[in-house]
Every structure is written in structure tokens, then in C-alpha cells.
């Protein structure tokens, strides 16, 4: 671990990524103290007489949205939505994917085959269409959106874990443990799982980027987290009709989404390099 | 039976006609020319028994004609395929004398059997017509719906006479006959195309379909045999109308500026709305057209779900919502509403002020109702812009008086399903699914959406409001089929809606104004582009300035 | 090889059956009633039940599914509830636009990804390499709708080089294809870079260099030929991503493809269209995956198809 950390700390891109994640997390946690306004308050003078949003000025640092709310405050609170869904949805996807991947890879036989055929099936689903259909079935709340994303995202993780587990299970020391009569849960959790931790860590990080993007996309289509909960994708959905005259309403949240996804991608990629000895130098 | 001259029917002509701008000066309008109309979505179908959306009714009315029609730009009913008609004294028997020599596009003459076939086809459950319910007053309807072979109430003593018998007098039956559903269709063509009939429509109308390329365009050309128009001699004016579909509204606007498109079928896109209506060049050249729609957007409160079973709570909600601010949110493309009927509908009471915005009074009423600290509820809305925004504005207004409404912003089909369940959706914002009247009559805003018949599982009366007293009055009003009682009937409807407002099952929020754009070469009054009777446009009267 | 192909095709058929079962089941879980949407506002309860009966929607779901599959096998995708037109014709009228968009996107992915990857590999560890890698990460980290709106704002609205949106000419295609292509280009450049680095380490390249062949030529002739194979395999996998991404990009650019058709159908619960589009997308994904797997042994002779 210390070795990994040393390698990470030498990678400037990873450092930038980690600093960004830290900054966003701090901003999200301290939003109630640093946000100038309540993100839900619709100011009567936050709109022009024609109903147009206000451009950035001294009162509203980044301007107002189409309901006369302070955009900066909404962006700060929106970070919470992205982070919570990113961590929860991806955590669930990693947990489900790891569990199914390990079981399929270790047990093999018809159970393993059934699980893997099911992942094949899920891979053939157009992911976004599936997410849209699921969002239509369950009225989307924060947790439902997280669940929908987890249901779509676990598949790839399951496949990666499956491949690695299969390779590990064939190794001699596992065979030895089995020959010694170790129970299979013991083998799975004591002998196989620890070796999968690097892979899981990498996916737990990279997956957050994918999750943040998927959440933003669902919100952009109007089927994400329910309003008035601030969400970056949702701000863009609501502002689209003013896109040409007030492009900042689209670009500020757009940049926020990109920066967060980029930060997790950079750290995840650096982690992969740092954890994988064969990848050294790539 | 007593003869009813056409003049008496025009007595039905409602005060709304006064509000409509006068007709285009006919002498200026020349025949000829062709235009292009843009739409984003495909035209769903041109089967007059099936099509029922924003785009296709007036297209189907170009292809086909009904027994009745409307005088241009007004809500005055006039005979169309009928030459004349009589209504029996008891209001139950309608006799129509058909015009002779009217030909379908395939060359065959229209006969009374076609009229009978058309109505039987509409009522036949296998047709799955969304308009079926409008014909329920015809004798033999129930029998045919449960499997009888024909519609006994429609008889054809000879080739040019049609007699329709009703089971109860109905003041709007002539309006129903002017709806696109009632366009007369030739049996042989319907049967020839089977399920694809909706793509190969044939009628007696002013235009024939000459091209339909799915996902790209539909072209109509003038029917040279068309002679039975209800307007001036040279109507219709245009030789050719092309609808180009798959056109994004903002692209369509650019193309309109370049002269490639003549009318924006979907209206001015919100992203360019303020810019477009303030553009001096557009205004100078008369390119912006605007007209109120016969439309009301409202919030329903389900009177079966506490605390909305308490009229004080419903009144409080009416006072808590700031309609002016919501109208501003949608760039003033609407006028605030005080009652279910829009201002351009006979029966609207201009002197009624409704519930003024007064949060303090609303809080008092809530306290009186036993909710001094408000309560928690749900507000459902459709999930396309601007509806979630409007729902959030309503939510904030409700929060000011202590009502915490959780938003459910979902697909329209899900909202409609929830509204049709007795105890599911306490409040629904109707935007995007709102009521556009099928015909210009005050009864159009009652039966399905406020009447007891709509307050059934799967119905459209999302407030589940059912007031027996009101229901009796409404039935009485709609039985006043004698044209001489027209004014009395409108007065009765006016009092009905005011009585409903006393029960406050809705918060009427606004009536939309429709804005669209036309190219500088297009002429004619705004009412042609946002027609109250030919939705959305009265194509037959559109004309181009540069026509030769 | 033939046996492998036969087995893969059989597996693909099973996958498609699975996709159809799940999609069919999901549409029935949507808390809305398609019959209400068809019947209209004035329909009596009896009229509604009549329509339900005629469409066979009153039968148990497994029976409905079997009826659907029976028709499907005969090549009949059914008729849209709302538009009444044959679903196959609706898809047929939309599919060319989506395929065109995909072709454009693949073009841009390769155009951006390959040169960037090669440059980065040959300048490994230097500033240019770093820059390419950061840009490729930025590309994959930007949501497609944000990128699409950005391109629209700059190149269509401010500069006026391209139309705002729509369909028809080559200039309409460029921005939406570029939107999909930039994200894909990010992945391609990373793949290209690593496979290039590997190839450049191989003996034959060293030999070629030793023989005095110049740098760029070695890279292009020997390196590219070997490094390009993984990229081809990736195109196959991309098809699935595009089939999903189409919903967003088509809505931003007003592109009349099957993504828009699917989106509208979901809103109106037009089940035959939802089924049809999902199946078409799944077929495309299955074919793409198959192509990717078939090229695998060409890339790495150690992989054998079993």
C-alpha cells in the first residue's frame, strides 16, 4: 500500500485529480456555509420582466437560473447529488459485480455459466435505453436513480472480476488450499478476494466517473433526481431553452460535471498503473 | 319536425365570433402558389377516425369533409357536405339533404350510404377510434358497441338523405358533426388499404394527398373537382402544401428566415422566443403571428384525498399560487386564468375575478380548515420542459403557506394513469397534457374533465370532482338543442362554471397564447394560423402574397 | 472456426430472446396503461376494454409474449399503438439516419484517435504525450450533451460554420458525429498508444531500425499494421455505445434517428416500438461484439477461438 501511495504521489496527474476530488468534496460538505443563498429559493427579482434569467452580477455571482434561483448555490449543492450518487450507485455496482464475478469464476459449473450468460445478455442491452425504461418504472428519487445506475453498471465489473477469479482459481496455492479441505467461502474471502482488491479499487474509482456521467445524462433527459433537488444535469435540462442567450447556464454545470468525471478518471488510471506491476511504464 | 333554415342555425353562432378578427379581405387573396410547413414529429396518421393530436386534425379536414363545417375564422356552424338540414322539434331527429355531385378523390360520387358507413365505422369497436364516445348520443350506439351489426339510429331513405336519431337532445351534436372524426370516408378505399388506410387517405376534400415519404414529407395538392367549399369562390387558395417533418424547431426558424419554410408548425422554439418576438424586422414584416388558444392549464386537487376533501383547503391553494409569476416564467406566453373557460369561449365570465393571489388569506383559510401549520402532499407533473419548472414554482408558492408538496415529475402516460386512479395523485399540474377544446362550445370543458362521468378509474377528471347538482344542470344545458335557446344555454353554462369555482376542484392557472412565425410572403389573419375550429391551422384560407 | 461461429450465433440468438423477454416484461411494469393512450379522453370504460381485447392486452403476459414472438419469427414487428404504422417501416425510415451518424462518429474517432495515439507513443513520456493523454481523458469525461451543446454554441451559433441542427447535408452531420467521435477518440488514442508502445518494443522493429530504416517509416509500416487490429476490434464494441448514445446526441441535434423514436415511444408507452428499437439495438450490439471477438485471433495469435 505504501508502495502504491509512493507511486501515486509521484504522478502529477494523479495528484491533480486527488486534489480536485478533495476540493469538490469539501465544497459539497460545506455547501450550507459557503453557499450565498438557499439553492431552492426562487427570487422574485431573480428574473427579468420577460422571464429571462439574470447574467452574473454582484448579487448573484454566477447569475440566476430560469426560476430566479442563485446558480452558484445550486452548483454547490448539486455537487452533493453527484457525489452521493457516484459513491452509492457505483459502490452498489461494484459490490454486485464483484460478488457475481467471484462466484461465477470460482464455482464455474452451471451456476457460473448462468451468471455469465446473464451478463452477456445485459451487455447486449442498450444501456441508456435500459436506464430510461427503469427510470420510467420507478418515479425517480435520489436513491432510485442510484439503484437504476447500479443495475446498469455492474455488468462490466462482473466480467473483469470473473476473468481474474478464473485465473486465480487455477493457481497452485488455491488448489492446495482446496486439497487441504478449506471450505469454499474461506477460500473465496481469504485467498481470492485479497488478490482482487487492486482491481476492485481501480474500478471503484473509474466507475464513479461513469456513474457521474450517467446521472447527469438521466437528469438532462428529465428523468433523473426529482426537482427541486439541485443536480448538475438537471440544471442543464431546465436551462436548455435559454441556451443560446444564456449559455453560461449550460456551461458552468457542464464544466462541473466534466471536472468531476475527469478527476476520478485520472486517479483511477493512475491507480491502475500503480497497482499493476506488469503495467509499469505504460 | 319543423324546418330549420340555415339562418337559425347561425343563431348558434356564438359571441366568440365577435372576438375573432374579421375575415381576410377576399379580393386581395389570389389563387395559386405553394407553401412549406415544418414539423418536428412525423404525422401520426391521416385516418380521420384515429388521428387526434396537435398536428393532424386540420390536415384531415383538408382531405375530407363532414356534414357540417365552420365559417372561416369564426365558430359559426355551416352545412358542408349537407346542403341543408332540419332538426325535429324534440331535438332528437336530424335530417340532412346531401349535396349532389360531390365526388371522392377516386371519382366516385358521395352517397348517403357513405355517411352511414362512416358513422358505423367510428362506433365499431374494431376501429378503436378515440372519438367513439362523441357518437354515444346516436340511437343504437350501445347495441353496436356490444356487437350489433349496424347503427340503427342512422338511416338512408334515399341516396341523398341521411336521418340521424338521437337518444337525447344534444346541443353540441352539430359541432360533433363538424369534427374531423366525422369526415366522410369511402368504404372501398378503407377496405382496399386495410391497416394502411391511415397512410392513403381519400375523401371529398379540397386537397388530395400526392406524396408521403415517411420521416420526410407529406405533399397535398389541390383537388380540381372540389366545388362545394363553404367560403368564397376561390377558396382554397394554395395549389400545393408541403409538410416537412423531422425539422427541429430552431432549424425550421433559420430556414424560415432564408425563405425555405413558410410556417413553423411547432411554433417559435423557446430558445429563440424572446429574441424573435422582439426582432423589429420580423414584426415590421408581419412575420410573428399570435392568437389565444381555446385552452386552459390547471392544477387539479383530488377531492377524494384528504385534506383536499375540504373546500377551504382547495380555496386556500387557489389563493396561494402566484399566477402572474408563473406566466412570467413562460415569457408571458399566456394570460392568467380565473375560471375553467378561456376568455374566447362563450360562457366565460369577464366580470368574475376568481381567487386573487393572497397568501395571508390562504393561511387563514388553512387554519380555519384545521391546518394552521400546513400539511404534506404530492404534486405530479409531466417531465418535459417547462412543466417541471412550473411545478417548482407552484411548489414554492405552496411552501409559503406551509404546504409541503413533493414533486413527481414523470412521463405523461404515467401522470395520466395516476390521475385516473381514485386515490393516487393528490395534485396534478396539467401542463403539456392540458385541455384544448375539441369544439368551440362551453360544454367541452365539463364532461370528461369535471363531470361525474370522467371521475371513474382511467378517466380524465383528475380532481375526481362530481357534484350532482352541477351534473343535473349540465345535462339540462346540453339538452337545450333548440337554437332559440342558445343564449339561455350559454348563460346556464356560465353559472355552472361559477358554481364549480365555488367548489374549487381546480386552480385554473393560465390560458396559453400561441405564437408562431410565417414567412414574409404569407398573408392572412392570425386567426388562420391559430384557428379555434381547425386545429392548428385553417389551411384552406392561407394564401401567399406572391401568388399569380 | 465454423463450429465456433455456429456456437456463437446460437448464443447470440439466446441473448436476443433474453433481451426481448426482459424488455417485454419491463414495459408491463411501467405504471401506465397503453390502452388509455389509444382510447382518448372521451372513451367509455367499455370502449377501453374493447380496445384492450382487440390488441390482446387482456391476455396473460406470457401469452402476449408468445403471440409477439410468433409474429416476430415471421418478420412482423407489429404496429405502433399511437401511429398505427408498421414498426418495421418506422424503424426503416429512421435507421439510415442513425447508421449515418454512427459512420460519421467512427470516422472521427479514428481520425482523432489514431494519430494522437501514435504521436503520444513515439514521444512517450514527453510533454506531447502528457498533453494527448490529458485531452483523451477530458474527451471521455465530458458528457455528450455538454460537448454537443458546446460545439453547437461555438461552431453553429457564434461562428455560423455549421447549421444549428437538423438533417440532410454533410454539414448537418459534422457536429453530431464529432460529438460522438471526440469521446470515442479519447479511448482510441489511449488504446493506440499502448498497443503502439508494445509493438515498438518488438524485435522486428528494432531489426528494421538497425537496418537503417527511418523512424516514421518504421512506425507507419510495421507498427501501424500490427497496432491497428485492436482498434478495429474496438469499433465493434463501439456500436453498443453508439446505440445508447444516440438518444442523447439525436435529441441535442434534432437528428431524426431511432434514438428519438425510442424516446418518444417510451414517453407514450408505445410497446411495439420500444420492443422493435431495443431488439434492433441489441442485434447491432451482438453483431458488433461478434466482430470484435472474431478479430481477436488476428490481433493475438495466442488467442484461439473455442
CA distance A79 to A215: 12
What pLDDT does A207 receive?
Answer: 93
Q: What percent of chain B has a predicted confidence (pLDDT) above 90?
A: 61
CA distance B260 to B517: 13
What pLDDT does B8 receive?
Answer: 31
Which of B133, B168, B189 is a domain's end point? B189
Q: How far is A100 from chain B (nearest CA, A)?
A: 33
- Residue B90 sits in the same domain as residue B36: no
Asked if B133 reaches chain C (Cβ–Cβ under 8 Å), the answer is yes
- Residue B467 sits in the same domain as residue B520: no
Q: Is residue B1 part of a domain?
A: no
Contact C11 A262 (CB under 8 A): no
Q: Is residue B492 part of a domain?
A: yes
Contact C248 A221 (CB under 8 A): yes
Query: What is the overall mean pLDDT for chain B?
Result: 88
CA distance A19 to A16: 5
What pLDDT does A1 receive?
Answer: 63
Contact A44 B325 (CB under 8 A): yes
User: Which carries the bigger pLDDT value, residue B432 or residue C229?
Assistant: B432
Among A12, A24, A126, pick the best mutation site for testing chain C contact (most C Cβ within 10 A). Answer: A126
State how beta strands B34-38 and B68-70 pair.
unpaired
- Residue B151 sits in the same domain as residue B228: no
**Which chain B residues are Cβ-neighbours of A66 within 8 angstroms?**
329, 386, 389
CATH of the domain at B436: 3.10.105.10
Q: How far is B186 from chain C (nearest CA, A)?
A: 20
Per-residue pLDDT band for B24 (boundaries 50, 70, 90) equals very low
Q: Among candidates A264, B119, B293, B415, which has minimal Cα distance to C30?
A: B415
What pLDDT does B108 receive?
Answer: 95
- Tens-level pLDDT at each residue, chain C (306 residues): 788 888 888 888 999 999 999 999 988 888 888 888 888 777 778 888 888 988 889 999 999 999 999 999 898 999 988 878 889 998 998 899 999 999 999 999 989 988 898 888 888 878 888 888 889 999 989 999 999 999 988 988 888 888 776 777 788 889 999 999 998 888 888 888 887 887 777 766 667 666 666 666 666 666 677 666 777 777 877 877 787 777 888 888 888 888 888 888 888 888 999 999 999 989 988 888 888 777 766 656 555 554
By C-alpha distance, the chain A residue nearest C192 is A282
pLDDT digit string (tens) for B265-314? 988 887 788 888 889 999 998 899 998 888 899 999 999 999 999 999 99
Asked if A243 reaches chain B (Cβ–Cβ under 8 Å), the answer is yes
Q: What percent of chain A has a predicted confidence (pLDDT) above 70?
A: 97
What pLDDT does B13 receive?
Answer: 32
pLDDT digit string (tens) for A246-260? 889 999 999 999 999
- Residue B372 sits in the same domain as residue B412: yes
CA distance B473 to B476: 5
By C-alpha distance, the chain A residue nearest B397 is A42
What pLDDT does B240 receive?
Answer: 94
CA distance C141 to A267: 13
- Residue B86 sits in the same domain as residue B172: yes
- Residue B249 sits in the same domain as residue B286: yes
For residues A138 and A149, the answer to whether their CB atoms sit within 8 Å is no
Average pLDDT over residues B73-98: 91
- Residue B40 sits in the same domain as residue B103: no
CA distance B348 to B14: 12
User: Which carries the bigger pLDDT value, residue A97 or residue B527?
Assistant: A97
- Whether B16 has a pLDDT exceeding 60, the answer reads no
Asked if B378 reaches chain C (Cβ–Cβ under 8 Å), the answer is no
By C-alpha distance, the chain B residue nearest C165 is B251
Which residues numbered 226-255 in C keep a CB inside 8 Å of some CB on A?
Answer: 240, 243-245, 247-248, 251
Per-residue pLDDT band for A105 (boundaries 50, 70, 90) equals confident
**Which chain A residues are Cβ-neighbours of B270 within 8 angstroms?**
241-242
Q: Is residue B14 part of a domain?
A: no
Asked if C189 reaches chain A (Cβ–Cβ under 8 Å), the answer is no
Which of B143, B159, B189 is a domain's end point? B189
What pLDDT does B234 receive?
Answer: 75
- Residue B100 sits in the same domain as residue B132: yes
Q: Is residue B279 part of a domain?
A: yes
- Residue B59 sits in the same domain as residue B167: no
Q: Is residue B142 part of a domain?
A: yes
What's this model's pTM, rounded to 2 decimal places?
0.89
pLDDT digit string (tens) for A176-226? 877 787 777 788 888 888 889 988 999 999 999 999 999 999 999 888 899
Which of B170, B189, B208 is a domain's end point? B189
Give me the residue from A134, A221, A258 closest to C146, CB to CB: A258
- Whether B22 has a pLDDT exceeding 50, the answer reads no
Give me the residue from A220, A240, A282 closest to C197, CB to CB: A282
Q: Is residue B546 part of a domain?
A: no
**Which chain C residues are Cβ-neighbours of B417 within 8 angstroms?**
31-33, 36
**Residue linked to cell 416537412:** B244
- Residue B273 sits in the same domain as residue B332: no
Per-residue pLDDT band for A281 (boundaries 50, 70, 90) equals very low
- Residue B299 sits in the same domain as residue B402: yes
What pLDDT does B1 receive?
Answer: 31
Q: For each of the domains in chain C, give its residue range(s) and CATH number, in order of start.
A: 20-73 (no CATH), 94-299 (1.10.3720.10)
Give me the residue from B133, B416, B448 closest to C36, CB to CB: B416
Question: How far is the CA of B505 from the CAs of B204, B311, B378, B494, B502, in angstroms?
Answer: 44, 8, 16, 17, 9
Highest mean pLDDT among A101-110, A243-252, B169-178: B169-178
CA distance B121 to B50: 11
Asked if A40 reaches chain B (Cβ–Cβ under 8 Å), the answer is yes
Question: How far is the CA of B29 from the CAs of A95, B25, B238, B317, in angstroms?
Answer: 73, 7, 10, 50
Q: Is residue B13 part of a domain?
A: no
CA distance B495 to B90: 25
What pLDDT does C161 receive?
Answer: 84
CA angle, corner B57, sides to B56 and B58, nearest 5?
95
How large is the C-alpha radius of gyration of chain B?
Answer: 24
CATH topology of domain A2-34+70-279: MetI-like fold (1.10.3720)
Instruction: Give partners of C (≥3 CB pairs < 8 A).
Output: A, B
- Residue B509 sits in the same domain as residue B519: no
Q: Is residue B8 part of a domain?
A: no
Which domain range does residue B40 map to?
Answer: 22-63+191-290+515-541
- The string of DSSP codes covering C251-304 is HHHT--SHHHHHHHHHHTT-HHHHHHHHHHHHHHHHHHHHHHHHHHHHH-TT--
- The string of DSSP codes covering B451-506 is SGGGSSTT-S-TT----HHHHHHHHHHHH---GGGHHHHHHHHHHHHHHHHHH--E
Contact B383 A223 (CB under 8 A): yes
User: In a 3-state reduction of DSSP, which class is residue C84?
Assistant: coil
Contact C166 B248 (CB under 8 A): yes
Phi, psi dihedrals of residue A222, rounded to the nearest 5° = 85, 15
- Whether A170 has a pLDDT exceeding 70, the answer reads yes
Per-residue pLDDT band for B18 (boundaries 50, 70, 90) equals very low
For residues A223 and A139, the answer to whether their CB atoms sit within 8 Å is no
- Whether B9 has a pLDDT exceeding 50, the answer reads no
Among C40, C77, C251, pick the best mutation site for testing chain B contact (most B Cβ within 10 A). Answer: C40
> What ipTM goes with this model?
0.88
Q: How many folded domains does chain B comprise?
A: 3
Contact C256 B50 (CB under 8 A): no
CA distance B290 to C98: 36
Per-residue pLDDT band for B11 (boundaries 50, 70, 90) equals very low
For residues B378 and B462, the answer to whether their CB atoms sit within 8 Å is no
Contact C83 B145 (CB under 8 A): no
Give me the residue from C29, C134, C150 closest to A251, CB to CB: C150
CA distance A84 to A20: 16
Amino acid at each position: 500500500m505504501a508502495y502504491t501511495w509512493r507511486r501515486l504521489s509521484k504522478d502529477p496527474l494523479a495528484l491533480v485529480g486527488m486534489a480536485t476530488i478533495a476540493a469538490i468534496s469539501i465544497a459539497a460538505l460545506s455547501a450550507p456555509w459557503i453557499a450565498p443563498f438557499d439553492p431552492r429559493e426562487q427570487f422574485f427579482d431573480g428574473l427579468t420582466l420577460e422571464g429571462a434569467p439574470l447574467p452574473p452580477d454582484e448579487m448573484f455571482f454566477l447569475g440566476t437560473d430560469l426560476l430566479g434561483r442563485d446558480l452558484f448555490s445550486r452548483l454547490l449543492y448539486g455537487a452533493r447529488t453527484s457525489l452521493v450518487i457516484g459513491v452509492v450507485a457505483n459502490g452498489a455496482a461494484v459490490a454486485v459485480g464483484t460478488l457475481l464475478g467471484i462466484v461465477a469464476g470460482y464455482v464455474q459449473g452451471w451456476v457460473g455459466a448462468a451468471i455469465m450468460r446473464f451478463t452477456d445478455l445485459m451487455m447486449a442491452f442498450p444501456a441508456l435505453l435500459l436506464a430510461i425504461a427503469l427510470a420510467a418504472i420507478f418515479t425517480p428519487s435520489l436513491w432510485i436513480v442510484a439503484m437504476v445506475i447500479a443495475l446498469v453498471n455492474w455488468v462490466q465489473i462482473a466480467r473483469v472480476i470473473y476473468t481474474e477469479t478464473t485465473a486465480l482459481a487455477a493457481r497452485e496455492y488455491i488448489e492446495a488450499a482446496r486439497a487441504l479441505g478449506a471450505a469454499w467461502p474461506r477460500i473465496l474471502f481469504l485467498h481470492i478476494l485479497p488478490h482482487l482488491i487492486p482491481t476492485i479499487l481501480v474500478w471503484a474509482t473509474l466507475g464513479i466517473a461513469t456513474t457521474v456521467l450517467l446521472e447527469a445524462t438521466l437528469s438532462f433527459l428529465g428523468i433523473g433526481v426529482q426537482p427541486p433537488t439541485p443536480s448538475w444535469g438537471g440544471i442543464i435540462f431546465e436551462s436548455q431553452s435559454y441556451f443560446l442567450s444564456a449559455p453560461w447556464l449550460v456551461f458552468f454545470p457542464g464544466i462541473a460535471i466534466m471536472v468531476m468525471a475527469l478527476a476520478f478518471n485520472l486517479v483511477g488510471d493512475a491507480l491502475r498503473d500503480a497497482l499493476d506491476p506488469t503495467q509499469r511504464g505504460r | 319536425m319543423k324546418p330549420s333554415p340555415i339562418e337559425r342555425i347561425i343563431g348558434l353562432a356564438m359571441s366568440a365570433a365577435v372576438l375573432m378578427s374579421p375575415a381576410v379581405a377576399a379580393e386581395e387573396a389570389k389563387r395559386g402558389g405553394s407553401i412549406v410547413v415544418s414539423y418536428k414529429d412525423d404525422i401520426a396518421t391521416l385516418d380521420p377516425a384515429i388521428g387526434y393530436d396537435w398536428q393532424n386534425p386540420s390536415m384531415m379536414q383538408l382531405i375530407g369533409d363532414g356534414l357540417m363545417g365552420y365559417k372561416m375564422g369564426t365558430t359559426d356552424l355551416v352545412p358542408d357536405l349537407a346542403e341543408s338540414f332540419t332538426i325535429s322539434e324534440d331535438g332528437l331527429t336530424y335530417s340532412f339533404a346531401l349535396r349532389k355531385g360531390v365526388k371522392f378523390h377516386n371519382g366516385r360520387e358521395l352517397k348517403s350510404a357513405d355517411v352511414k358507413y362512416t358513422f358505423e365505422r367510428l362506433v365499431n369497436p374494431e376501429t378503436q377510434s378515440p372519438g367513439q364516445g362523441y357518437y354515444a348520443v346516436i340511437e343504437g350506439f350501445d347495441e353496436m358497441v356490444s356487437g350489433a351489426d349496424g347503427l340503427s339510429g342512422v338511416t338512408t331513405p334515399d341516396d341523398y338523405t341521411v336521418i340521424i336519431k338521437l337518444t337525447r337532445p344534444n346541443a353540441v351534436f352539430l359541432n360533433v358533426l363538424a369534427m374531423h372524426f366525422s369526415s366522410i370516408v369511402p368504404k372501398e378505399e378503407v377496405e382496399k388499404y386495410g391497416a394502411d388506410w391511415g397512410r392513403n387517405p381519400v375523401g371529398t376534400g379540397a386537397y388530395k394527398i400526392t406524396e408521403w415519404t415517411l420521416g420526410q414529407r407529406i405533399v397535398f395538392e389541390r383537388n380540381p373537382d372540389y366545388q362545394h367549399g363553404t367560403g368564397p369562390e376561390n377558396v382554397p387558395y394554395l395549389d400545393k402544401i408541403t409538410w416537412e417533418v423531422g425539422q427541429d424547431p430552431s432549424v425550421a426558424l433559420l430556414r424560415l428566415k432564408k425563405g425555405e419554410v413558410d410556417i413553423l408548425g411547432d411554433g417559435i422554439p423557446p430558445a429563440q422566443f424572446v429574441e424573435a418576438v422582439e426582432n423589429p424586422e420580423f414584426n415590421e414584416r408581419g412575420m410573428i403571428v399570435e392568437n389565444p388558444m381555446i385552452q386552459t392549464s390547471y392544477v387539479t386537487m383530488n377531492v377524494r384525498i384528504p385534506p383536499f376533501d375540504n373546500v377551504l383547503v382547495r380555496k386556500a391553494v387557489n389563493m396561494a399560487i402566484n399566477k402572474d409569476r408563473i406566466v412570467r416564467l413562460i415569457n408571458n406566453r399566456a394570460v392568467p386564468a380565473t375560471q375553467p373557460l378561456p376568455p374566447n369561449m362563450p360562457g366565460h365570465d369577464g366580470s368574475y375575478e376568481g381567487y386573487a393571489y393572497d397568501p395571508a388569506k390562504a393561511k387563514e383559510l388553512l387554519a380555519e380548515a384545521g391546518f394552521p401549520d400546513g400539511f404534506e402532499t404530492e404534486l405530479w407533473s409531466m417531465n418535459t420542459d417547462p412543466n417541471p419548472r412550473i411545478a417548482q414554482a407552484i411548489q414554492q408558492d405552496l411552501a409559503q403557506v406551509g404546504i409541503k408538496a413533493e414533486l413527481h415529475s414523470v412521463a405523461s402516460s404515467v401522470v395520466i394513469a395516476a390521475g385516473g386512479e381514485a386515490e393516487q395523485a393528490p395534485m396534478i399540474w396539467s401542463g403539456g397534457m392540458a385541455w384544448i377544446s375539441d369544439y368551440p362550445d362551453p360544454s367541452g370543458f365539463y364532461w370528461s374533465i369535471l363531470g361525474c362521468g370522467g371521475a371513474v378509474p382511467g378517466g380524465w377528471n383528475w380532481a375526481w370532482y362530481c357534484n350532482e347538482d352541477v351534473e343535473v344542470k349540465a345535462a339540462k344545458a346540453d339538452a337545450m338543442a333548440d337554437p332559440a335557446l342558445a343564449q339561455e344555454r350559454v348563460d346556464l353554462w356560465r353559472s355552472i362554471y361559477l358554481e364549480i369555482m365555488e367548489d374549487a376542484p381546480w386552480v385554473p392557472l393560465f390560458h396559453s397564447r400561441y405564437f408562431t412565425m410565417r414567412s414574409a410572403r404569407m398573408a392572412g389573419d392570425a386567426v388562420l394560423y391559430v384557428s379555434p375550429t381547425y386545429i392548428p391551422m385553417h389551411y384552406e384560407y392561407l394564401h401567399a402574397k406572391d401568388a399569380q | 472456426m465454423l463450429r465456433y461461429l455456429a456456437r456463437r450465433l446460437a448464443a447470440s440468438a439466446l441473448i436476443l430472446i433474453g433481451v426481448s423477454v426482459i424488455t417485454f416484461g419491463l414495459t408491463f411494469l411501467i405504471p401506465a396503461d397503453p390502452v388509455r393512450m389509444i382510447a382518448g379522453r372521451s372513451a367509455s370504460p367499455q370502449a377501453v376494454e374493447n380496445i384492450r381485447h382487440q390488441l390482446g392486452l387482456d391476455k396473460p403476459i406470457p401469452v402476449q409474449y408468445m403471440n409477439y414472438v410468433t409474429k416476430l419469427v415471421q418478420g412482423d414487428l407489429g404496429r405502433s399503438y399511437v401511429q398505427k404504422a408498421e414498426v418495421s417501416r418506422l424503424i426503416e425510415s429512421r435507421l439510415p439516419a442513425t447508421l449515418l451518424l454512427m459512420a460519421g462518429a467512427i470516422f472521427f474517432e479514428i481520425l482523432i484517435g489514431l494519430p494522437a495515439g501514435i504521436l503520444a507513443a513515439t514521444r512517450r513520456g514527453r510533454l506531447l504525450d502528457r498533453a494527448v493523454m490529458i485531452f483523451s481523458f477530458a474527451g471521455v469525461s465530458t458528457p455528450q450533451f455538454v460537448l454537443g451543446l458546446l460545439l453547437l454554441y461555438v461552431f453553429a451559433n457564434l461562428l455560423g460554420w455549421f447549421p444549428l441542427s437538423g438533417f440532410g447535408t454533410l454539414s448537418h452531420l459534422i457536429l453530431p458525429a464529432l460529438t460522438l467521435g471526440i469521446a470515442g477518440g479519447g479511448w482510441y488514442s489511449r488504446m493506440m498508444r499502448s498497443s503502439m508502445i508494445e509493438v515498438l518494443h518488438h524485435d522486428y522493429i528494432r531489426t528494421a531500425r538497425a537496418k537503417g530504416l527511418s523512424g516514421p517509416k518504421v512506425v507507419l509500416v510495421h507498427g501501424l499494421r500490427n497496432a491497428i487490429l485492436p482498434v478495429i476490434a474496438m469499433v465493434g464494441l463501439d456500436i453498443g455505445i453508439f446505440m445508447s448514445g444516440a438518444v442523447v446526441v439525436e435529441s441535442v441535434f434534432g437528428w431524426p434517428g431511432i434514438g428519438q423514436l425510442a424516446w418518444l415511444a417510451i414517453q407514450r408507452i408505445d410497446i411495439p416500438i420500444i420492443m422493435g428499437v431495443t431488439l434492433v439495438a441489441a442485434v447491432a450490439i451482438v453483431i458488433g461484439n461478434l466482430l470484435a471477438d472474431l478479430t481477436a485471433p488476428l490481433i493475438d495469435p495466442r488467442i484461439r477461438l473455442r
